[in-house]
Structure 1
Amino acid sequence: MPTARTRARIAVVMAGLLVTALAAAPATADPPGRRPTPPHVVGTGTVPAYSFADAIRESVWVETRVDSDGDGVRDRVAADVVRPREAAAAGVRVPVIMEASPYYLCCGRGNEGEFKAYDASGVIAKVPLFYDNYFVPRGYAFVAVDLAGTARSTGCEDVGGPLEVGSARAVVDWLNGRARAYTADGRPVDAGWSTGRVGMIGKSWDGSVANGVAATGVPGLATIVPVSAISSWYDYTRYQGALTSTDYPGWLHSVVSSRPEDACATVLARLRADSAEQTGDYNGFWAQRDYRPSAGRVRASVLVAHGLHDLNVTTGQFASWWQELAERGVPRRLWLSQAGHQDPFDVRRAEWVALLHRWFDYWLQGLRNGVMEEPRVDLETAPGRWTTQRDWPAPGTRDVRVPLGVGDGVTGTLGGRGARPGQERAYVDESLTEDVVVAAPTTATAGRLVFLSGTLSTALRISGSPSVRLRVRVDRPTTELSARLVDYGTAERSWFGAVRTLDTESCWGESTEVDDACYRDTEEITGVSDHAVLTRGWLDAAHHRSLRLTTPLRPDRWYTVTVPLNAYDTVVPAGHVLGLVLGQSDPEFTVTDDRDATVRVDLGRSELVLPVTGRAGLPTVDVAPAVVTAPAEPSAARSARTERQRP
Structure 2
Amino acid sequence: MNRPMTLRPPYDFLVFAAFSILAPGLMNYATTVGAEPAVPVFKDGEAQVVKAFVDPDYWIRHDLWVQTEFDSDDDDKPDRMHVSVTRPGQTESEGLKLPVVYISSPYFAGTGAKGKEFFWDARHEVGVTPPEREHFPAVELKSRRPIISKSHAKEWVPRGYIVVHSSSPGTGLSQGCPTVGGDNESLAPKAVVDWLCGRADGFTTPDGEEKVVADWCTGKVGMTGTSYNGTIPLAAATTGVEGLEAIIPVAPNTSYYHYYRSNGLVRHPFGFLGEDIDYLYDFIHSGNEPRRDHCDCEVRDKEMLQGFDRKTGDYNEFWAGRDYINDLEPLKAAVLMAHAFNDWNVVPEHSVRIYQALKAKGVPSQAFFHQGGHGGPPPMKMMNRWFTRYLHGIENDVEDDPRAWIVREQDKREKPTPYDDYPNPDASPVKFYLSAGAPERGKLTTDSAADEGTETLVDNFSFSGAALAQAEWTNHRLIYVLPTFHKPVHLSGTPRMTIKLASNKPAANLSVWLVSLPWTESKKTKITDNIITRGWADPQNHASITESEPLVPGQFYELTFDLQPDDQVIPKDQQIGLMIFSSDRDFTLRPTPGTKLTVDLNATSITLPIVGGDAALAEAFKESKSEKKE
TM-score range, shorter chain: 0.7 to 0.9
2:149 alignment counterpart:
127
Between Structure 1 and Structure 2, how many residues are aligned? 544
Counterpart residue number, 1:200: 223
Task: Please say if residues 55 and 83 of structure 1, whose CA atoms lie closer than 8 Å, have aligned partners that are also in contact.
Answer: yes
Letter in 2 for 1:167: A
Shift of the 423–196 alpha-carbon distance from structure 1 to 2, 3 Å rule, reads: same
Deviations 1:56-109 (A, max 9, x none): 21111111122211222111110111112213333332111111100111149x
Deviations 1:465-491 (A, max 9, x none): 112111112222221110000011477
Q: Which residue in the other structure is 1:13 paired with?
A: none
Using a 3 Å threshold, how does the CA distance of structure 1 residues 593 and 526 change in structure 2: closer, same or farther? closer
Q: What is the alpha-carbon distance in structure 2 between the residues aligned to residue 163 and residue 352 of structure 1? A: 31
- Aligned AA (1:534): I
User: Aligned AA for 2:92?
Assistant: A
Match of 1:449 in 2: 478
Structure 1 stretch displaced more, 612-621 or 143-152: 612-621
Q: Does 1:150 align with 2:171?
A: yes
TM-score between both structures, scaled by the size of structure 2: 0.80
Task: Specify which of 353, 365, 381 is matched with residue 332 of structure 1.
Answer: 365
Determine if contact 2:257/2:315 at 8 Å carries over to the other structure. Answer: yes
For structure 2, the 5+ residue unaligned runs are: 1-28, 113-139, 269-273, 622-630
Q: Residue 619 and residue 488 in structure 1: after superposition, are their counterparts in 2 closer, same or farther (change >3 A)?
A: farther
Does the Cα contact within 8 Å between 1:57 and 1:80 map onto a contact in 2? yes
Helix, strand or coil for the counterpart of 1:587?
A: coil
1:488–1:619 Cα change, 3 Å: farther
Q: Deviations over 1:125-167 (max 9, x none)?
A: x7332x2122123221111110000011111000111122221
Q: How does 1:6-405 map to 2 (within 5 A)?
A: 39-42=39-42, 44-47=45-48, 48=50, 49-50=52-53, 51-107=55-111, 122-124=145-147, 127-129=149-151, 131-184=152-205, 185-245=208-268, 246=274, 248-258=276-286, 259-260=288-289, 261-265=292-296, 266-269=298-301, 270-344=303-377, 352-384=379-411, 386-405=416-435
**Aligned residue type for 2:195:** W
Q: Is the 8 A contact 2:433 2:448 kept in 1?
A: no
* Equivalent-residue separation in structure 2 for 1:460 and 1:136 (angstroms): 44
Query: Separation in 1 of the partners of 2:437 and 2:446?
Result: 7
2:479 is paired with a residue of what secondary structure?
A: strand
- SS of the equivalent of 1:454 reads coil
Q: Match for 1:202: what amino acid?
A: G
CA separation in 2, counterparts of 1:75 and 1:20?
Answer: 40
Residues 396-455 of structure 1 show CA distances to partners (whole Å, capped at 9, x for unaligned) of: 111111111124773211116565456111112122312222113xx2212100100011
Q: Deviations over 1:333-383 (max 9, x none)?
A: 222112101333xxxxxx812222222111100112233332222212212
- Preserved CA contact (<8 Å) 1:415 1:619: no
Q: Structure 2: how far apart are the matches of 1:176 and 1:475?
A: 61
SS of the residue corresponding to residue 607 of structure 2 reads strand
Partner of 2:531: 533
> SS in structure 1 opposite 2:66?
strand
Distance 1:25 1:67 in 2: 48
CA distance in 1, matches of 2:246, 2:486: 44
Cα shift at 1:117: 9.5
Task: Report SS of the residue matched to 2:572.
Answer: coil
Residue number in structure 2 paired with 1:8: none
| Correspondence for 1:628 | none
Inter-partner Cα distance in structure 1 for 2:59 and 2:355: 37
* Superposition deviation, residue 25 in structure 1: 9.1
The answer to whether the Cα contact below 8 Å between 1:490 and 1:528 also exists between their aligned partners in 2 is: no
User: For residues 549 and 292 of structure 1, what CA distance do their matches in structure 2 show?
Assistant: 20
* CA contact 2:502–2:598 (8 Å) conserved in 1: yes
Q: What's the CA shift for 1:52?
A: 2.9
The question of whether the paired residues in 2 share the 8 Å contact of 1:247 and 1:277 is answered with: no
SS at match of 1:143: strand
How far apart, in 2, do the equivalents of 1:478 and 1:619 lie?
42
The one-letter amino acid paired with 2:400 is E
Aligned equivalents of 2:620 and 2:503: distance in 1? 29
Aligned CA distance change for structure 1 residues 264 and 325 (closer, same or farther; 3 Å)? same
Q: Taking structure 1 as reference, are residues 61 and 393 closer, same or farther at Cα in structure 2, changes over 3 Å only?
A: same
Tell whether the 8 Å contact from 1:242 to 1:591 is kept in structure 2 after alignment. no
Q: Could you tell me which residue of structure 2 aligns to residue 31 of structure 1? A: none
Kindly indicate whether the alpha-carbon contact (under 8 Å) linking 1:455 and 1:619 is maintained by their aligned counterparts in 2.
no
Corresponding residue of 1:586: 584
| 1:372 maps to amino acid | E
From the superposition, tell whether residues 528 and 73 of structure 1 become closer, same or farther in structure 2 (CA, over 3 Å): closer
Indicate yes or no: 2:499 matched with 1:470.
yes
Q: Which amino acid aligns with 2:281?
A: H
- For residues 77 and 271 of structure 1, the distance between their equivalents in structure 2, rounded to whole angstroms, comes to 23
Q: How does 1:537-576 map to 2 (within 5 A)?
A: 537-576=535-574
Helix, strand or coil for the counterpart of 2:379? helix
- The CA deviation string for residues 486-509 of structure 1, in whole angstroms up to 9 with x for no partner, is 011477x8x79xxxxxxxxxxxxx
The question of whether the paired residues in 2 share the 8 Å contact of 1:81 and 1:142 is answered with yes
CA offsets, 1:219-248, max 9 Å, x none?
Answer: 211111111111111000112222234461
- CA distance 1:338–1:256, change in 2 (3 Å): same
Is 1:437 paired with 2:468? Answer: yes
Residue by residue over 1:28-80, the C-alpha shift from the partner in whole angstroms, topping out at 9 and shown as x without a partner, is xxxxxxxxxx7223454433232432222111111112221122211111011
2:515 aligned residue: 486
Distance 1:456 1:551 in 2: 42
What is the CA distance between 1:322 and its match in structure 2? Answer: 1.2
Deviations 1:292-351 (A, max 9, x none): 13333210111111111111001111111111111112211222112101333xxxxxx8
Q: Which moved more, 1:88-97 or 1:69-78?
A: 88-97
- Give how far 1:178 is off: 2.2
C-alpha distance in 2, partners of 1:563/1:397? 19
Q: Distance in 1 between matches of 2:405 and 2:592?
A: 41
Deviates more, 1:186-195 or 1:203-212: 186-195
CA distance in 2, matches of 1:462, 1:42: 38
